Amino acid sequence: MKRVVVGLSGGVDSSVAAYLLKQQGYEVIGLFMKNWHDDSVTISEECPWLEDSNDAMLVAQKLNIPFQTVDLSVQYQERIVDYMFREYKMGRTPNPDVLCNREIKFDVFMKIALDLGADYVATGHYCRKATQSIDGKDVYSLLSGKDANKDQSYFLCQLSQGQLAKTLFPIGEILKPDVRKIAAQQDLITADKRDSQGLCFIGKVRLPEFLQQQLAPKKGAIIEVPLENHKYKNAPTSFTSETQRLQHLSTKIAYSIEDGKKVGTHQGAHYFTNGQRKGLAVGGTKEPLFVIATDVDENVIYTGQGKDHPGLYRRGLFVKQDEIHWIREDLTLNNGDTLCVMARIRYRQKLEKATLYKTALGMYVIFDTLQSAITQGSLLPGMMQTNVWVVVLFLKSNI
């Protein structure tokens, strides 16, 4: 009998995943990951991880499977929380859930599971994997979940072949309403529990308070850049090389205070991200203001009126060579290669046509249409990239 360790989060998805695996004849063990001790930044005064842990334990009891809690708070602090503070301090917008999957769930947690004699680790993610034999070797692809409204393959784009080989996604072929129906039929306490919207295994947090633990407030100017700014006009239409064209399409605009007028103040440029509308506290404009750029060195936020402001849009981005990660390494592009893909720059955004251009220094991702609020971020300290890089990898792995 194959042994599977399920990451029981205290939610309905992982609960049903455990149930289905037991029905399929696996020996199932439930483990709850305790990743956070500081409850001072949660939205309510309740202790979210304690409630979730208790629900996970009750599910395990109902399913008659072994259960224990593992404390990964030290690793989570070092690999996720400290990373978030570093990224926001440098004016970038991190994606902690992507990193949590790679560094915590499918690394630290997976190693604990394998030490328990597990053949596989399973989670309640809405995604699938496919296996095919290439040159006599099993090669795994990460696929989207059957439920398009709940698909979470976006957040698993950093997984490796080794991690996928040891992973099961029991609810990837099931729609969310049917997952809840199964939970209700089995009288699981999580059947009607609301989905978590917070950080990975932490719960809801007040992000400003969370960031202010290490990033002190610092008053700065909010600058409104008008639609008719010269930087939006007279764009070159001819280029001396293809590389020059790609660089032009993927380079963000550099602003200065002289490009607009001061319309307000903020408490720290590192608290804001491109495309953000809420939290500016500036009134009196015909249309809402959106953040079009942040400068953490000068502590300035640049904004523009309306969701169609040209400062929000760009055609592409560049990914440095040492930041490229292929789930399917057999599909890696060589220098000079191009590939048409469907891509998105954020979770739940509709897929857009794009082309990958591989060069010796890295890869350009150029969309057919302008994209709003391409935001700089990173997955490792000192490695600059954009969140789009994450999605392109995931899409490439689905070929």
307 and 382 co-located in one domain: yes
Cα 21 to chain centroid distance, Å, stands at 27
Per the CB < 8 A criterion, the answer to whether 366 and 372 are in contact is no
Q: From the candidates 47, 127, 157, 200, give the one annotated as an active-site residue.
A: 200
225 and 180 co-located in one domain: no
Q: Which of 171, 186, 212 is the last residue of a domain?
A: 212
Domain count, the chain: 2
Burial of 117 (0-12, 13-18, 19+ CB in 10 A): exposed
Q: From the candidates 47, 100, 127, 340, give the one annotated as an active-site residue.
A: 100
Predicted structure pTM score: 0.84
State the CATH number of the domain containing residue 45. 3.40.50.620
340 in active site: no
CA angle 301, 303, 304 (to 5 degrees): 170
232 and 343 co-located in one domain: yes
Q: Which of 168, 188, 212 is the last residue of a domain?
A: 212
175 and 230 co-located in one domain: no
Q: How far apart are CA 206 and CA 358, in angstroms?
A: 40
What H or E segment, with its residue span, contains residue 71? strand 67-71
Express each pLDDT in 219-259 by its tens digit.
999 999 999 999 998 788 889 999 999 999 999 899 999 99
- Residues near 224 by beta carbon (within 8 Å), at least 6 away in sequence: 260, 261, 262, 263, 285, 289, 303, 304, 305
CA distances from 156 to 46, 80, 152, 153 (A): 29, 15, 7, 5
Mean pLDDT by 10 residues, the chain (399 residues): 95 97 97 74 55 93 96 84 78 78 91 95 96 95 94 91 97 98 97 73 56 77 95 87 93 94 92 89 92 93 95 92 88 94 85 93 94 65 33 42
Structure-token pair, residue 63: 């399913």
100 in active site: yes
Cα 188 to chain centroid distance, Å, stands at 29
What phi and psi values does residue 134 have, to the nearest 5 degrees?
Answer: -125, 120
- The three-state secondary structure class of 226 is coil
62 and 202 co-located in one domain: yes
Estimate the crossing angle of helix 12-23 against helix 48-63, to 10 degrees.
20
CA angle 369, 372, 376 (to 5 degrees): 115
Express each pLDDT in 143-192 by its tens digit.
999 999 999 998 998 899 999 999 999 999 999 999 999 999 999 999 99
142 and 238 co-located in one domain: no
Per-residue pLDDT at 44? 44
152 and 285 co-located in one domain: no
94 and 112 co-located in one domain: yes
Give the residue numbers spanning the domain of 200.
3-212
DSSP 204: -
116 and 9 co-located in one domain: yes
166 and 290 co-located in one domain: no
Per-residue pLDDT at 250? 92
Bridge partners of 313? Answer: 372
34-38 LR contacts (CB < 8 Å, sep 24+): 34/69, 34/70, 34/71, 34/72, 34/73, 34/201, 35/72, 35/73, 35/76, 35/80, 35/104, 35/200, 35/201, 35/202, 36/73, 36/76, 36/201, 36/202, 36/203, 37/73
Q: Which of 212, 247, 268 is the last residue of a domain?
A: 212
Structure-token pair, residue 245: 């064209």
391 and 291 co-located in one domain: yes
